[in-house]
Amino acid sequence: MALEEYKGVFIFAQQVDNEISNIAFELLGKGKDLAADLGTEVTAVLVGSGVKGLADQLAEYGADRVIVVDDPELKEYRTEPYTHAIASVIDKFKPDVFLIGATAIGRDLGPRVCARVHTGLTADCTSLDIGDFPLVAIPGREQKHNQLLMTRPAFGGNTIATIACPDFRPQMATVRPGVMQKKEKVAGAKAVVEEFNPGFTPNANYVEILEIVKEVSDVVDIQDAKILVSGGRGVGSAENFKLLEDLAAAIGGEVSCSRAVVDSGWKPKELQVGQTGKTVRPHVYFAIGISGAIQHVAGMEESDIIIAINKDETAPIFDVADYGVVGDLNKIVPLLTKQILAA
Ligand code: FAD
């Protein structure tokens, strides 16, 4: 593999029902920074049926170029034709870096594509940088420059690993939704749009979709919330979450929780913040009766302002909190709600 032939940062612009998923804009935001560090451009790969019209949105969020693979076989996501589409793009355009969102689709697609094009994949990354690998010079070992350094929790979240792929291209990663920041939208920005169709054999060995049943849920998406009032085991019971719901209602926020709460059956999994839950980045994050385990902190530490309420002054949550209140949540939370409503 001639590594120097591989150029540019590519992102998979996931769309569902011809609507671009938020993760595509987040990947463009990060891809733009990586491309700047490498002195190259960022390309979005848009795959689907009748999707060409979506290219302008990708340009407005930073894509320099959009490669459109448009074919009736790509109407709904299916592993085989999408793998064929992306692997063919990689074979033809030879990207240096290829990023995919760690969504349900991306987690299925990423490993398949890597196996097809004979490279590696670092899954579920929480941070990406350009730098030297190995990270420090080791006598007798060649240090390569301008490598993609892919960081992710490892060993059950007990350590953070930085991984590189120095000998194969593209350097591929799936990236957790909600971790990277999208750039400000530049209305009217334009990208070079290039159509590419490697050819698809209708229904050849493909899964046939008979029906799509959409899950109906009245649970809010906590990744969209500007204020989160998050409760942990210290809240004590499902019923006692009423205190947090009242606070959230008073300040226009939403309720989320730790894994201990989900495991106790007090709240649904969709509201879980953390390594095995959702990564959130609200303006204000209340951590109430949450100890601050590393797996929880991994999902909320990028919040703008963190306010912790805990009766244990040594709780690790205070290490990441901007403001901390040591005391019994059963007393403090109703008082806070009362003060806010009175203000
Ligand atoms: P606890 O650790 O039990 O803390 C409860 C806190 O409440 C304590 O600090 C206590 O002082 C305080 N408290 C009690 N009563 C009161 C009161 N009356 N007033 C004020 N404070 C009070 N966890 C997650 O949250 N999200 C994840 O995604 C996640 N993923 C994981 C993945 C793996 C592989 C593993 C191994 C673990 C994961 N965990 C995750 C679990 C994590 O390690 C912790 O067990 C969990 O976060 C603890 O939840 P908690 O803080 O609510 O409970």
Give residue-wise pLDDT tens across range 107-140: 999 999 999 999 999 999 999 999 999 999 899 9
Whether residue 316 has its Cβ less than 6 Å from ligand 1: no
Q: If you measure from the C-alpha of residue 308 to the centroid of ligand 1, how many angstroms do you get, rounded to a whole number?
A: 13
Which of 66, 128, 131 minimizes the C-alpha distance to 102?
Answer: 128
296, 313, 333, best to mutate for ligand 1 pocket (most atoms within 8 Å of CB): 296
Give, as one character, the DSSP assignment of residue 214.
Answer: P
**Could you give the CA distance from residue 140 to residue 244 in angstroms, rounded to a whole number?**
58
Ligand-binding site membership of 181 (annotated):
no
| Burial (CB count <10 Å: 0-12, 13-18, 19+), residue 339 | exposed
Ligand-binding site membership of 127 (annotated):
no
Q: If you measure from the C-alpha of residue 260 to the centroid of ligand 1, how many angstroms do you get, rounded to a whole number?
A: 6
- Alpha carbon distances (Å) from 201 to 105, 140, 243, 302: 22, 50, 57, 45
**Could you give the CA distance from residue 56 to residue 78 in angstroms, rounded to a whole number?**
25
CB 225 within 8 A of CB 253: yes
- Alpha carbon distances (Å) from 258 to 10, 157, 168: 34, 15, 39
**Could you give the CA distance from residue 204 to residue 227 in angstroms, rounded to a whole number?**
48
Whether residue 157 has its Cβ less than 6 Å from ligand 1: yes
Whether residue 234 has its Cβ less than 6 Å from ligand 1: yes
Ligand-binding site membership of 290 (annotated):
yes
Q: What is the residue with the minimal CA distance to atom 52 of ligand 1?
A: 232
**Could you give the CA distance from residue 177 to residue 280 in angstroms, rounded to a whole number?**
9
Residue 207 has a pLDDT of 82
Give residue-wise pLDDT tens across range 148-176: 999 998 887 778 899 999 999 999 999 99
Whether residue 277 has its Cβ less than 6 Å from ligand 1: yes
Q: If you measure from the C-alpha of residue 100 to the centroid of ligand 1, how many angstroms do you get, rounded to a whole number?
A: 30
Ligand-binding site membership of 339 (annotated):
no
Give residue-wise pLDDT tens across range 287-338: 999 999 999 999 999 999 999 999 999 999 999 999 999 999 999 999 999 9
Tokens 């030879």 correspond to what residue?
94
Whether residue 328 has its Cβ less than 6 Å from ligand 1: yes
**Could you give the CA distance from residue 109 to residue 99 in angstroms, rounded to a whole number?**
11
